[in-house]
């Protein structure tokens, strides 16, 4: 059993029970609790083949509205030019442009990005509205060379690397659950973030594991994901 | 043993599909057989001289392999897992127990074969003629006929198997990996296309694997090896064998089935090289085992190394029959004669080779009748053809155990026609041809009536150029269309009626020449009507071998051309598919709150509300289910007397923000919201344009420009959509965000609720004066940022606490811990339903229906008459000026011995239905059944009584009472 348990913090992933069942070792930084690993020595290698990571407790936020583009432009962010693309910021956070008037900001994998907290505490302009993205969606990552192949079993968008470039976003259905799929490679390893309605997190997790069996995919901890960079 | 099996086979290189090193044991009709890995059931049985595979549908005639390509119903057998498996498609496996279908007694001696003796009493359409009089007799006949009509048996004990689906994306999909298909794939791939080459057979090559294209019999194999070598070297080509492209849908959406997976393939361009299906000659007893397509015999020889007979006759209308004869000779078969329907075959090298090898040829002759012995072909009678379909009075009998038919082809047109292409008939070539293929689809090869290998390859390259040009990868000049060959392989009339009948046009349905002609004589002259009246083409093989002959017969019988007669519609699927392929891996995005496991740990019995799992009630603490009624009543009592906690995370939550937020809600809901004070909640009733109540919730005003609106669990998505729709018209300066999942919510309710909450919430003044009923506040609970709403759905002092979703479980834990001293207990949906009923609150969708307006459900107080507009307002004004037809009232049942009415029980006035019950429960608080019901206006005054037709038809007297049942002065919730 992990020396740290999810019940020690108020923010608990919807998938906590799944992680405990899989023998997860958790890591904690303040109120932020993540699965460090599942006790396997080969998780970094696994992540290069096909890994599934729960990042749901990491910080993230969102803004939308007619004023959002102009307001965001004043926030020292490297903004994507086109909708359905994303850019990685210098602090490791990621800004995803979901439409001309909607932004999603994800923290770095350590939850240390300053931009999330700063944006949440900065007054917004008129016609700019914050969105509770940290809680409305779960955040999973699928990594590895088999990721796109696995996705083809549950998602109708062609996510193969030569068809879906790094930094592209698909707002689509994954296993019939509305999802935001962001390609954000980690080093040379393919990586897709999936953000789906948080209440369906366990459903999606189970679907992904089921789809991954064919390719020997397994859950890995965030340490394996960090090791890819 | 292996040696014995090998002796049953022709030597290498015959048998390209079998692995002679791996023997497989199986049983058919409980008798053990051996075959090789790669054998189909039919081939393995054929190797063991078991040619009889099935019994026909109507007359129970003996049937054997016809096509060896999985294109006919003769080979359908029963497997342990499923009926109607195609024995010439399904592979043998160790210990597979196979049974024949549709016989009575034994396969060899089927008692059902007696039906053939009564065939003259079973004319076409006899179902329609025989079983509808006298009135009602069909009910008697139906079970008998259905029992007789069944083929295989479904194994209802079978555990569901795992089927799934996968998406695939290609620039070009080539269906059919024969010579044309392989060439098309190569030509497209070298231009940079991602190509999928799909074929239903285990190996690439199509007809190159078994057909003879030259006198020496070497060209096919050489060409196959050359093409495959190139395909394997080209990384742009994905080959998918053992895979059936089972339909064409709009935008080149191709469902391809392989094993237990359905591939959902998207192609930018499709090239169909699906080949052609050989057709049978129609003569008496043309269905006997031992009578088969010439291509079937060649498949047996080349694919499985099986000699298809010892003494053969070939009936032909083209030179392919001569090639077939050479193959048979090479395989050691004694070829007794080639019976050529033509007076003069077109001279070519193959014809010369056949002559050189001394094969007797009877030109201008037809097979008039096949004769049988022991359920197998024993001889054929051939006669001189004197005119179309007419033979001389006498002929000669040739003993044989194999008759190969090579009289023509139809294109495998199904996918093309599903895509909008059409079948035309060329009277000169006596062939169906394809016309009007849609954009983004090309056809090449024999499906497009090319029979010469070089022409097939040239046309395939041309199709690939058209496809790559369309994709923008090339801008190559498109070569001239390849000219069709002047001589057709189709004989125009290989149909010979016999006075004793049994010349089968449709094997599946046992339909003969007379059946088709009689259908037209019964007035069904259109080919579509012939199909439905006779059932021609409606069997498992879907007209693959009957469409051409039936069209010719109908045309002749109705004095039209075949082109005028046409063919029936080809619809998906192309081949039978398991239901599992359609169902596949099903996805149901079930939703759970962050507190879900706390409910399970507390012994909750969960129920589904839409996609959400919600606790219905909590069982005993040890996890066993206590009596549910006791559990629910205890939960109700605990809320009334102490404090309870219910998970309301599933309630919808919508943020409406912006300068016009109040105005928006004013227009959207029935109440007034513009002047709603900040820090207050207001009941929000939603009607549609027809004034029908469709949802409700509360609108909480947290600032001038910020409302947080709740909605029902099942209704929030519709409410959100309606909000977006209306504001698309109104264009008010607001933002609307559905944040349902972003918040977890609980309702802590009961007289001790404040006491518990106060332990965890120190930054909000919870006193009644500072935080009164219908107040809203923001603060922290157990250190978690929270929105607090003082509402009273259950009729007690209560607070809804909404916190960020990921903190839901922590909130639950904190409240349960803090409330221990006060006796806090969780309560579920069932208790909540009773509590709200006692308080007289309606549930939208349960106490309302598609006609309910606010006045009917006593919600007129929630409708503002002062504002200029709201959705449904105009209709409600009209409705208020008309007499009300029904009203929702509260009632009690005073007779405690009466059965408790249930939802939807009828209200009767005498025998006339005048209303219905919408909610009814035993009230632990009032200790009697209480409920809500729609009644007529005269039944609305308190004290009125009405009759409910309760369970078992028992009439129960109910008394109307004023709502609410409980705490009419609302003192409890305003504590």
A195 lies in some domain:
yes
With respect to residue A8, please indicate whether it lies within any of the assigned structural domains. no
Across the interface, of B264, B655, B783, the residue whose CB is closest to A10 is B783
Task: With CB atoms and an 8 Å threshold, state whether A156 touches B167.
Answer: yes
The architecture of the domain spanning B600-650+742-836 is: 2-Layer Sandwich (3.30)
Return d(Cα B207, Cα B612) in angstroms, integer: 55
Topology annotation, domain B1-153: Ubiquitin-like (UB roll) (3.10.20)
Element of type H or E holding B599: helix B596-601
**Mean pLDDT, residues B372-387 taken together:** 97
- Pair A52, A139 in one domain: yes
Identify whether residues A121 and A158 lie together within a single domain: no
CATH 3.40.1160.10 for domain B165-277+411-470, yes or no, is: no
Contact residues on chain B for A158, CB-CB shorter than 8 A? 167, 169, 266
Taking a C-beta distance cutoff of 8 angstroms, is the pair A203, A177 a contact?
Answer: yes
DSSP strands (E only) in B388-527? 390-399, 402-406, 409-411, 422-426, 431-435, 441-443, 504-506, 511-512
B1 pLDDT above the threshold of 70: no
Q: Is the pLDDT of residue B175 over 60?
A: yes
Mean pLDDT of chain B: 95
B413 or B625, higher pLDDT: B413
What CATH number should be reported for the domain whose range is B653-741?
3.30.70.1400
Residue B150's pLDDT is what? 65
Q: Select from A114, A134, A154 the last residue of a domain.
A: A134
Q: What is the domain-level CATH number for residue A114? A: 3.30.70
For residue B29, how many other CB atoms are within 10 A of its CB? 17
Residue A200: give its domain's CATH number: 3.30.1360.120
Residue B620 has pLDDT above 70, yes or no: no
Q: Is the residue at A16 inside a domain?
A: no
Q: Where are the CATH 3.50.50.60 domain residues in chain B?
A: 165-277+411-470, 280-407+486-499
Using a CB–CB cutoff of 8 Å, tell me whether A9 touches chain B: yes
- Number of Cα atoms under 13 Å in the Cβ half of residue B675: 5
Based on the domain organization, do A71 and A142 belong to the same domain? no
Q: Provide the edge-to-edge strand list for the sheet that holds B376-387.
A: B365-373, B376-387, B390-399
Give yes or no: residues A142 and A48 share one domain. Answer: yes
How many angstroms away from the CA of B268 is the closest CA of chain A?
13
Instruction: Give the integer Cα–Cα distance in Å for B6 and B9.
Output: 5
Q: Are A116 and A78 contained in the same domain? A: yes
Say what the pLDDT of residue B453 is. Answer: 96
Write the pLDDT tens digit of every residue in B878-915. 999 999 999 999 999 999 999 999 999 999 999 999 99
DSSP state letter for B697: E
pLDDT at B40: 98
Task: Give the pLDDT band of residue B307 (cuts 50, 70, 90).
Answer: very high
Which part of chain B has CATH 3.30.1360.120?
A: 600-650+742-836
CB B606 within 8 A of CB B616: yes
pTM (two decimals): 0.92
| pLDDT confidence of residue B443 | 97
Contact with chain B for residue A200, Cβ under 8 A:
yes
Predicted pLDDT of residue B460? 98
**Token representation of residue B93:** 């496996």
Mean pLDDT of B356-361: 97
Rama region for B542: left / alpha / beta (φ>0; ψ in -120 to 50; rest) = left
B807 contacts in chain A (CB < 8 Å): 10-12
Chain B, nearest residue to A17 by Cα: B597
Same domain, residue pair A139 and A205? yes
In this predicted structure, the answer to whether residue B138 has a pLDDT above a threshold of 60 is yes
CATH number for the segment(s) B280-407+486-499: 3.50.50.60
User: The domain B883-975 is classified under which CATH number: 2.40.30.110, 3.40.50.720, 3.30.9.10, 1.10.1040.10?
Assistant: 2.40.30.110
Does residue A189 fall inside a structural domain? yes
Tens digit of pLDDT for each residue in B39-61?
999 999 999 999 999 999 989 99
Confidence (pLDDT) at B624: 58
Tell whether A121 and A182 lie within a shared domain: no
For residue range B651-670, list pLDDT tens digits in order: 999 999 999 999 999 999 99
Q: Are residues A81 and A108 in the same domain?
A: yes
Chain B residues closer than 8 Å to A11 by CB: 804, 806-807, 810
Tally the domains of chain A.
2
Residues pairing with B47 in the sheet: none
Per-residue pLDDT tens over the stretch B539-565:
999 999 999 999 999 999 999 999 888
Nearest CA in chain A to B803: A135
Q: Are residues A66 and A127 in the same domain?
A: yes
Q: What does the pLDDT average to over B922-936?
A: 96
From the list B218, B29, B5, the residue with the least C-alpha distance to B110 is B29
Q: What is the pLDDT of residue B2?
A: 60
Ranges in chain B annotated CATH 2.40.30.110: 883-975
Residue A95 lies in a domain: yes
- Final residue in a domain of this structure, among A113, A134, A155: A134
Tokens of A123: 């007054």
User: B323: which residues sit within 8 A by CB, 6+ positions away?
Assistant: B211, B212, B213, B350
Looking at the structure, tell me whether residues A50 and A77 fall in a common domain: no
Residue A9 CB partners (closer than 8 Å, separation 6+): A28, A31, A32, A33, B810
CATH number of B503-579: 1.10.10
Say what the pLDDT of residue B622 is.
57
- Residue B742 contacts A, CB cutoff 8 Å: yes
Mark whether A153 and A121 lie in a shared domain.
no
Kindly state whether B259 is in contact with chain A, defined as any CB-CB distance less than 8 angstroms: no
Complex ipTM, two decimals? 0.97
Q: CA–CA separation, B884 vs B936, rounded Å?
A: 9
Spatial contact of B284 and B500, defined as CB atoms under 8 Å apart: yes
B626 confidence band (pLDDT: 50, 70, 90):
low
Say yes or no: A139 and A51 in one domain.
yes
Kind and range of the H or E run holding A139:
strand A137-143
Q: CATH 3.30.70.1400: which residues of chain B?
A: 653-741
Evaluate whether residue A5 is within a structural domain: no
The parent domain of residue A86 ranges over: 60-134
């Amino acid at each position: 059993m992990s020396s740290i348990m999810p019940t020690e913090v108020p923010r608990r992933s919807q998938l906590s029970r799944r992680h405990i069942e899989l023998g997860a070792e958790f890591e904690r930084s303040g109120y932020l609790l993540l699965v460090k690993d599942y006790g396997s020595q080969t998780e970094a290698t696994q992540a290069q083949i096909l890994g599934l990571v729960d990042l749901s407790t990491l910080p993230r936020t969102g803004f939308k509205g007619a004023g959002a583009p102009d307001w965001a432009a004043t926030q020292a962010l490297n903004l994507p030019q086109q909708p359905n693309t994303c850019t990685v910021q210098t602090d490791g956070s990621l800004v995803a442009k979901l439409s001309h008037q909607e932004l999603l900001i994800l923290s770095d994998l350590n939850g240390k990005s300053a931009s999330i907290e700063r944006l949440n505490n900065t007054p917004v302009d008129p016609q700019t509205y914050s969105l509770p993205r940290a809680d409305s969606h779960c955040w999973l990552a699928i990594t590895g060379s088999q990721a796109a192949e696995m996705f083809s079993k549950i998602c109708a968008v062609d996510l193969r690397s030569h068809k879906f470039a790094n930094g592209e976003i698909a707002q689509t259905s994954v296993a019939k659950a509305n999802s935001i799929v962001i390609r954000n490679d980690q080093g040379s390893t393919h990586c897709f973030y999936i953000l789906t309605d948080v209440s369906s997190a366990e459903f999606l997790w189970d679907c992904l594991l089921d789809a991954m069996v064919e390719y020997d995919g397994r859950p890995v901890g965030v340490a394996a994901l960090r090791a890819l960079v | 043993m292996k040696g014995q099996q090998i002796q049953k086979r022709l030597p290498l290189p015959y048998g390209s599909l079998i692995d002679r090193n791996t023997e497989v044991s199986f049983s058919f009709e409980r008798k053990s057989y051996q075959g090789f890995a790669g054998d189909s059931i039919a081939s393995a049985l054929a190797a063991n001289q078991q040619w009889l595979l099935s019994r026909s549908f109507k007359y129970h005639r003996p049937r054997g392999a016809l096509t060896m390509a999985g294109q006919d119903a003769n080979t359908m057998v029963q497997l342990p897992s499923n009926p109607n498996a195609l024995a010439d498609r399904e592979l043998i496996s160790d210990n597979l127990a196979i049974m024949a279908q549709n016989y009575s007694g034994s396969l060899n001696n089927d008692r059902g074969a007696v039906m053939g003796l009564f065939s003259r009493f079973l004319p076409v359409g006899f179902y329609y003629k025989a079983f509808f009089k006298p009135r009602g007799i069909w009910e008697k006949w139906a079970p008998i006929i259905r029992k007789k009509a069944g083929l295989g048996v479904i194994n209802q004990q079978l555990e569901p198997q795992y089927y799934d689906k996968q998406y695939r994306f290609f620039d070009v999909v080539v269906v059919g990996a024969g010579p044309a298909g392989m060439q098309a794939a190569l030509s497209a791939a070298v231009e940079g296309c991602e190509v999928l080459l799909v074929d239903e057979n285990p190996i690439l090559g199509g007809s190159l694997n078994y057909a003879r294209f030259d006198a020496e019999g070497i060209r096919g194999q050489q060409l196959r090896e050359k093409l495959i070598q190139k395909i394997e070297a080209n990384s742009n080509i994905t080959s998918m064998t053992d895979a059936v492209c089972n339909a064409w849908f709009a935008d080149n959406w191709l469902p391809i089935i392989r094993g237990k997976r359905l591939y959902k393939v998207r192609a930018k361009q499709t090239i169909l090289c699906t080949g052609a299906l050989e057709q049978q000659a129609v003569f008496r007893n043309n269905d006997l085992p031992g009578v088969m397509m010439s291509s079937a015999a060649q498949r047996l020889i080349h694919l499985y190394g099986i000699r298809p007979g010892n003494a053969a006759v070939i009936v032909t209308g083209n030179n392919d029959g001569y090639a077939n004869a050479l193959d048979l000779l090479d395989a050691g078969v004694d070829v007794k004669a080639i019976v050529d329907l033509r007076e003069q075959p077109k001279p070519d090298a193959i014809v010369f080779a056949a002559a050189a090898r001394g094969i007797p040829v009877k030109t201008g002759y037809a097979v008039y009748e096949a004769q049988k012995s022991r359920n197998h072909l024993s001889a054929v009678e051939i006669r001189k053809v004197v005119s179309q379909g007419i033979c001389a009075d006498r002929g000669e009998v040739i003993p044989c155990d194999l008759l190969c038919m090579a009289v023509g082809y139809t294109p495998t047109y199904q996918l093309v026609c599903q895509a909008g292409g059409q079948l035309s008939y060329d009277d000169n070539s006596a062939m169906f041809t394809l016309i009007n293929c849609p954009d983004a689809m090309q056809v090449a090869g024999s499906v497009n009536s090319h029979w010469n290998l070089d022409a097939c390859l040239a046309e395939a390259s041309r199709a690939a150029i058209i496809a790559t040009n369309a994709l923008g990868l090339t801008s190559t000049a498109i070569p001239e269309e390849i000219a069709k060959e002047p001589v057709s392989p189709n004989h125009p009339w290989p149909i010979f009626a016999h006075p004793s009948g049994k010349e089968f046009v449709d094997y599946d349905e046992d339909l003969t020449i007379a059946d088709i002609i009689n259908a037209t004589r019964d007035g069904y002259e259109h080919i579509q009507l012939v199909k439905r009246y006779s059932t021609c083409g409606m069997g498992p093989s879907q007209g693959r071998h009957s469409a051409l002959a039936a069209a010719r017969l109908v045309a002749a019988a109705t004095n039209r051309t075949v082109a005028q007669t046409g063919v029936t519609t080809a619809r998906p699927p192309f081949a039978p598919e398991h239901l599992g392929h359609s169902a596949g891996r099903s996805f149901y995005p079930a939703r759970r709150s962050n507190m879900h496991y706390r409910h399970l740990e507390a012994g909750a019995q969960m129920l589904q509300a839409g996609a959400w799992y919600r606790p219905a009630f909590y069982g005993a603490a040890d996890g066993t289910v206590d009596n549910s009624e006791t559990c629910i009543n205890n939960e109700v009592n605990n809320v009334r007397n102490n404090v309870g906690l219910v998970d309301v995370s599933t309630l919808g939550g919508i943020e409406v923000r912006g300068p016009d937020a109040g105005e928006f809600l004013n227009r959207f809901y029935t109440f007034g919201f513009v002047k709603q004070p900040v820090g207050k909640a207001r009941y929000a009733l939603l009607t549609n344009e027809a004034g029908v109540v469709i949802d409700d919730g509360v609108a909480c005003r947290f600032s001038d420009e910020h409302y947080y609106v709740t909605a029902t669990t099942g209704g929030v998505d519709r409410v959100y959509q309606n909000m977006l729709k209306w504001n698309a018209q109104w264009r008010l300066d607001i933002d609307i965000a559905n944040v349902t999942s972003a918040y977890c919510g609980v309702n802590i309710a009961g007289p001790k609720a404040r006491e518990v909450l106060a332990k965890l919430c120190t930054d909000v003044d919870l006193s009644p004066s500072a935080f009164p009923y219908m107040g809203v506040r923001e603060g922290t609970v157990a250190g978690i940022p929270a929105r607090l709403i003082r509402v009273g759905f259950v009729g007690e002092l209560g607070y809804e606490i909404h916190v960020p979703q990921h903190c839901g479980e922590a909130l639950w834990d904190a409240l349960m811990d803090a409330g221990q001293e006060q006796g806090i207990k969780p309560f579920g949906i069932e208790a909540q339903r009773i509590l709200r009923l006692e308080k007289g609150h309606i549930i939208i969708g349960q106490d309302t229906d598609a006609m309910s307006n606010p006045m009917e459900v006593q919600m007129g107080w929630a409708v503002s008459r002062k504002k200029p507009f709201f959705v449904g307002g105009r209709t409600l004004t009209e409705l208020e000026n008309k007499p009300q037809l029904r009203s929702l009232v509260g009632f009690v049942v005073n007779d405690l011995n009466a059965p408790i009415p249930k939802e939807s029980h009828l209200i009767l006035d005498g025998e006339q239905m005048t209303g219905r019950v919408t909610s009814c429960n035993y009230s632990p608080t009032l200790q009697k059944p209480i409920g809500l019901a729609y009644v007529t206006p005269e039944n609305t005054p308190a004290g009125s009584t009405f009759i409910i037709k309760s369970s078992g038809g028992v009439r129960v007297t109910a008394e109307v009472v004023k709502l609410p049942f409980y705490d009419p002065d609302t003192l409890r919730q305003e504590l």
